[in-house]
Structure 1
Amino acid sequence: MTKAPVTPLLDRVHTPDDLRKLPKSELRQLADELRTEMIDAVGSTGGHLGSGLGVVELTVAIHYIFNTPDDRLIWDVGHQAYPHKILTGRRDRIRTLRQGGGLSGFTKRAESEYDPFGAAHSSTSISAGLGFAVANKLAGTPGKAIAVIGDGAMSAGMAYEAMNNAEQAGNRLIVILNDNDMSIAPPVGGLSSYLARLVSSGRFLGLRDLAKKFAKRLPAPLQVAARKTDEYARGMAMGGTLFEELGFYYVGPIDGHDLDQLIPVLENVRDAAEGPCLIHVITQKGKGYGPAEEAADKYHGVQKFDVITGEQKKSAGGPPSYTNVFAKSLLSEAEQDNTICAITAAMPTGTGLDKFAAAFPERHFDVGIAEQHAVTFAAGLAAQGMRPFCAIYSTFLQRAFDQVVHDVAIQNLPVRFAIDRAGLVGADGATHAGSFDVTYLATLPNMVVMAAADEAELVHMVHTAAKYDSGPIAFRYPRGNGTGVELPETPQQLEIGKGRMVRGDEKQGRKVAILSLGTRLAESLKAADQLEAKGLSTSVADMRFAKPLDSALIRKLMATHEVIITVEEGSIGGLGAHVLTLASDEGLIDAGLKIRTLRLPDLFQDQDTPDKQYDEAGLNAPQIVDTVLSALRHNSAGVEEARA
């Protein structure tokens, strides 16, 4: 067990007010202690590491120069905000990150006044910051909005949509581009740092303002020429022409780890009379921790790890993850079909498509954090005869719902949606839960929606999707490891819209029928065992498809069973709603039939272990049993009475 880090300066800083009392000469030491504290904390909890380490100095500088929380600090992709949490009164809870009842791994309004806007999906900060800045402007109240965007978030179109309207905020909006992968800037050098300080200084801005006033006296063509000369002169030196065209005054690039550069630039920008400003800051992901510097991707998100060696706690052995099963299955299909393409939105490793990229680089496309583009790009590929698989987490596919409707479903294009992280996801909490995909996809005409009950079923569904050319098709699967079933050597092509009986017979009269969609099948079978032990004969069906429904199977089960229970790891509007609609439309409900639907509750569930989350949601075997007993109007002690 390692000793707690020695942090004498950090121990005196409980809020940014304490930070602002320190002399500038002590900020370097404070940043070093803050980095040490973050490494130690994440080592004990797991979580996002590399991004936070890269913004330690930037976090210190922002809180030192700006009057937070009155100046609103909005973090894009909130996993950059661990150092921010430590400096804003939450250090005593930092070792509860991502645990049940603990701190969120992202910014969260309910957690602190220093988190003015929640962020777990990317590219929202400039839009939100613009809202804060304009609201202050309209109300005539002081306060600026500082949006820190980075870690790939500038690859999303929403950031540029916001920047296109940013002039409305005047000088109340400051955007800090945290460029941690050198994707925009040339290497930072002394000249560029000097120029950044120079062009952000009050003296330079004053001279520039004087030049603008002089230029207004010139004929119109010369006014345009003067403006362009100013923009291009600074653009050639610093690369900011794009941002200038979007209405921002560009400063940078500067070294985001050099407080002697950060502090004067932030001071100058804070006091400037210019309009919205963008500060381009270069940082190193994983800065200050050797293992994270050497492998930024591996240490972006980590398990618990040994701070001394950097060795991450290995997960227990066992069945392969659903993500790996999907990746291997897709590789197998692509080896036999050169029309198969794979698309990911900045998550090649998370979706398993890094393996596809290695084998078929010309057929793999990482489009960045741009889910809308990913879906419509896939639609274009499909329209031209390719077979695209669009692999996107359930929570991120929500961002492209209009494209799924307009560009795919209406045109009935055969885009394959591989929906990872379906259902509840544990430590990432409500923002990353895959709660809604069945609901929002199964409402769409032409769409086929499948849910894998185990890893063997996932293999069959990948194959089925590869062979399906009649329109869009989606299959969902959860985070984590499979159930341990044997994987098929040869995948089956499933009949569209047909479920399977796992226990019992739809033609045989029984007391209870459980209709499961997805990986709650294992809990449904446990529930069936418990019900049988109570003398209640129980059938279990794996529906496989939320759309189209296996109407024939449902009719038979309703005709031969007294209680129908649907179980799914999604929100209202999914399998249960479609079964109820079928029963209502066809008059299948009579006085002797009881139907109950089990689904995720109508709330955003906080982080915890997945098993605890599903227990809270009422989707484990004991709750399934209780639902059946309640439907039969008795509890476990009254089974004999009900049977009689």
Structure 2
Amino acid sequence: MADLPNTPLLDTVDTPHDLRKLKPADLRQLADELRAETISAVGSTGGHLGSGLGVVELTVAIHYVFDTPDDRLIWDVGHQCYPHKILTGRRDRIRTLRQGGGLSGFTKRSESEYDPFGAAHSSTSISAALGFAVANKLADRPGKGIAVIGDGAMSAGMAYEAMNNAEAAGNRLVVILNDNDMSIAPPVGGLSAYLARTVSSSNYLGLRSLAKRAIRRISKRVHNAAEKAEEFARGMVTGGTLFEELGFYYVGPIDGHNLDHLIPVLENARDSEHGPILVHVVTKKGKGYGPAEAAADKYHGVQKFDVITGAQAKAPPGPPSYQNVFADQLIKEADADPRIIAITAAMPSGTGLDRFGKAHPDRTFDVGIAEQHAVTFAAGLAAQGMRPFCAIYSTFLQRAYDQVVHDVAIQNLPVRFAIDRAGLVGADGATHAGSFDVTYLATLPNFIVMAAADEAELVHMTHTAALHDDGPIAVRYPRGNGVGIALPAVPERLEIGKGRVVREGKTVAILSLGTRLAEAIKAADALEAKGLSTTVADLRFAKPLDEDLIRRLLTSHEVAVTVEEGAIGGLGAHVLTMASDQGLIDAGLKLRTMRLPDTFQDQDKPELQYAEAGLNAEHIVDTVLKALRYNEAVVTDGARA
């Protein structure tokens, strides 16, 4: 293809084994070609760009120095793994990134032996690398665990929990801190690189070890004092006292784009026999591509774009996004109520809270990648009379489930959860799908769980949550744009646990929760065309159920179907339980439940994902017809009868 970059050296490299045959002097050219190939590939597919461009040299250096895949390389989160994929036998598929049947946008064990540990959520790399390192140590096998973790991921407590335990790995663990945002300590050119090479060299470490043994024989007190003095002196020069206290030997900071600096330091870390090492490298997100360097936030995740101009493809104009509908309504609520506070965990733009922050900066808190803290922080605010909203992706809220149970639900505190990215999420695949929130929240006593069928309903539900002070309440809504419903000028406070009938019929009842309502209405149209009078209800609440409405629909229709964009254990299971408890099953009830299949679905276009899951109008109609055709009084919590 004419638009592909010229990459003669990269063309000779299929795996890291080929890379290691190159001369050190060739690595600069290879890195430049790898960067050009990454830009070209992401330009054609979209995806995460800036973080990958920032680690091009680091990726080359790691694979050049370490014996991957026997040395187990783990990229934290995985946003930055595209150059890694190109160098590890997947270049021929790199333009299938994040597409149906293509490469994952994150590391994935089933994809390559060079992906020893799957990732997509933050701050797991050190724990996993420690596991690999200790396993090799105990089995007396060669091989290190190498974790590459960004400075943003260091805001999560899990990273420190792992580091506190890292001494168990001995010299089998190498942590590379990729500092690409707020540098802990700035690199200072040649002097910094010289110091990093010196303090990580085998001569320095050997002499240091010999001196420590000699001093220990003289006096334990003298030894401890000397050790602290050496660490303090080195920490004053290089930074890193915190990591030393956690048991690491700290090296850095060094320029993460200078291969002449990176290679010898990583070689020293590879050959060290002196315990776990942390190498601090400083990089720039978007390095080598002007538009991405100038606007790292806008080029973190991108649509398809023109490589020459950097202009990203724009979606056609349409309804507002759910996240912005939520944020704009929350701003209005906060304008009227000074007790309303918004909390996000490192996703201000993803949740719309960047908009809220501009309107109410003193009441907006981005706590970093720390969902557990976010939830308990909100619980403390609620206990003190404030009205906190935790705006967190469904898949990320899973990380704070103990806090949701222990700190919020048991104490019946009125924390409001705005659950973004509920349901399937397209290109981000299984790791980011919001499949389980109804199941894991509606099982909790004291919880109210709402699901918005459209953007107008989200306005009503945000308003309802703002006014609700009797225990925790959650509203879930999907990724993407609304369906085109006009937003209400005045929001309505919904009656808790009450649904609505969208259309009335006599034979078939479709009970919908969330944004599958549009498909339920399409299915009703198709059923009406077949002579089957159909009721469609938007239940609004997964908990508490509108038992009066559900009982009426189940007892007055020949067949009833529940439809939800969540996993087993959600709405369908709760309706089945209610029907069983109230003896409706004994009356010959024909009830079917439709929900996400019991599998982790790979990335694809959302409409194709929902078709695969059997949650579109065609499948609703098929479920109803099968139930009527066989006239079975069978109750099942299976996906489709």
TM over 0.5: yes
Deviation at 1:562, TM superposition (A): 1.1
Distance of 2:240 and 2:608 partners within structure 1: 49
The counterpart of 2:516, out of the listed 513, 520, 524, is 520
Deviation at 1:214, TM superposition (A): 1.3
Identity %: 80
Q: Map of 1:570-609 to 2, 5 A cutoff?
A: 570-609=566-605
Deviation at 1:189, TM superposition (A): 3.3
CA gap of 1:487–1:2, structure 2 versus 1, over 3 A, is farther
Q: Which residue identity is paired with 1:262? A: L
Deviation at 1:273, TM superposition (A): 0.8
Q: Which residue identity is paired with 2:454? A: D
- Other structure's SS at 1:89 match: helix
Distance of 1:616 and 1:270 partners within structure 2: 46
Deviations 1:446-473 (A, max 9, x none): 0000000000000000000000000100
Structure 2 residue aligned with 1:444: 444
Structure 2 residue aligned with 1:619: 615
- Other structure's SS at 2:509 match: strand
2:86 pairs with 1:90: no
Distance of 1:469 and 1:592 partners within structure 2: 41
Q: Which residue identity is paired with 2:293? A: E
Deviation at 1:188, TM superposition (A): 3.7
- Other structure's SS at 1:217 match: helix
Deviation at 1:634, TM superposition (A): 5.6
Aligned length: 631
The unaligned stretches of length 5 or more in structure 2 are 632-641
- Other structure's SS at 1:570 match: coil
Q: Map of 1:124-523 to 2, 5 A cutoff?
A: 124-150=124-150, 152-504=152-504, 510-523=506-519
- Say if 1:51 and 1:151, in contact at 8 Å, map to a contact too: no
Distance of 1:489 and 1:190 partners within structure 2: 62
Distance of 1:541 and 1:367 partners within structure 2: 39
Distance of 2:568 and 2:229 partners within structure 1: 58
Q: Which residue identity is paired with 2:428? A: D
User: Higher mean Cα deviation, 148-157 or 275-284?
Assistant: 148-157
2:104 pairs with 1:108: no
Q: Which residue identity is paired with 2:571? A: L
Distance of 1:187 and 1:362 partners within structure 2: 34
- Say if 2:183 and 2:282, in contact at 8 Å, map to a contact too: no
Distance of 1:183 and 1:515 partners within structure 2: 52
The unaligned stretches of length 5 or more in structure 1 are 636-644
- Other structure's SS at 1:5 match: coil
User: Higher mean Cα deviation, 142-151 or 90-99?
Assistant: 142-151
Deviation at 1:218, TM superposition (A): 2.6
Distance of 2:186 and 2:84 partners within structure 1: 28
Deviation at 1:236, TM superposition (A): 0.5
Deviations 1:9-43 (A, max 9, x none): 00000000000000000000000000000000000
Given the two structures, how large is their TM-score scaled by the length of structure 2? Answer: 0.97
Deviation at 1:207, TM superposition (A): 1.1
The counterpart of 1:610, out of the listed 603, 606, 611, is 606
- Say if 1:562 and 1:592, in contact at 8 Å, map to a contact too: no
- Say if 2:187 and 2:255, in contact at 8 Å, map to a contact too: no
Q: Which residue identity is paired with 2:599? A: L
Distance of 2:110 and 2:61 partners within structure 1: 25
Distance of 1:55 and 1:187 partners within structure 2: 16
Deviations 1:69-126 (A, max 9, x none): 0000001011110000000000000000000000000000000000000000010000
Distance of 1:224 and 1:359 partners within structure 2: 53
Deviations 1:606-626 (A, max 9, x none): 100000000000000000000
- Other structure's SS at 2:577 match: helix
User: Higher mean Cα deviation, 234-243 or 297-306?
Assistant: 234-243
Distance of 1:553 and 1:351 partners within structure 2: 33
- Say if 1:514 and 1:539, in contact at 8 Å, map to a contact too: yes
Structure 2 residue aligned with 1:17: 17
Distance of 1:400 and 1:532 partners within structure 2: 45
Structure 2 residue aligned with 1:75: 75
- Other structure's SS at 1:108 match: coil
Q: Which residue identity is paired with 2:606? A: P
- Say if 1:182 and 1:282, in contact at 8 Å, map to a contact too: no
Deviations 1:315-369 (A, max 9, x none): 0111001011011011110100011000000000000000111111110000000
- Say if 1:98 and 1:607, in contact at 8 Å, map to a contact too: yes
- Say if 2:499 and 2:546, in contact at 8 Å, map to a contact too: yes
Q: Which residue identity is paired with 2:65? A: I
Deviation at 1:185, TM superposition (A): 2.1
- Other structure's SS at 1:78 match: coil
2:562 pairs with 1:559: no
- Say if 2:53 and 2:287, in contact at 8 Å, map to a contact too: yes
Structure 2 residue aligned with 1:642: none
Deviation at 1:591, TM superposition (A): 4.7
- Other structure's SS at 1:147 match: strand
User: Higher mean Cα deviation, 55-64 or 174-183?
Assistant: 174-183
Distance of 1:33 and 1:85 partners within structure 2: 14
Deviation at 1:558, TM superposition (A): 1.2
Distance of 2:610 and 2:432 partners within structure 1: 15
Distance of 1:559 and 1:73 partners within structure 2: 58
- Say if 1:188 and 1:282, in contact at 8 Å, map to a contact too: no
Structure 1 residue aligned with 2:637: none
- Other structure's SS at 2:80 match: helix
Deviation at 1:2, TM superposition (A): 5.4
Q: Map of 1:26-65 to 2, 5 A cutoff?
A: 26-65=26-65
RMSD: 1.0
Q: Which residue identity is paired with 1:626? A: D
- Say if 2:146 and 2:175, in contact at 8 Å, map to a contact too: yes
Deviations 1:221-255 (A, max 9, x none): 21211110011011101111100010000000000
Q: Which residue identity is paired with 2:396? A: F
- Other structure's SS at 1:194 match: helix
Distance of 2:226 and 2:133 partners within structure 1: 30
Distance of 1:336 and 1:365 partners within structure 2: 19
- Say if 1:435 and 1:571, in contact at 8 Å, map to a contact too: yes
Distance of 1:563 and 1:183 partners within structure 2: 62
Deviations 1:249-292 (A, max 9, x none): 00000000000000000011111111000000000000000000
- Say if 1:147 and 1:174, in contact at 8 Å, map to a contact too: yes
User: Higher mean Cα deviation, 126-135 or 354-363?
Assistant: 354-363
Distance of 1:189 and 1:5 partners within structure 2: 31
Distance of 1:169 and 1:316 partners within structure 2: 52
Deviation at 1:592, TM superposition (A): 3.6
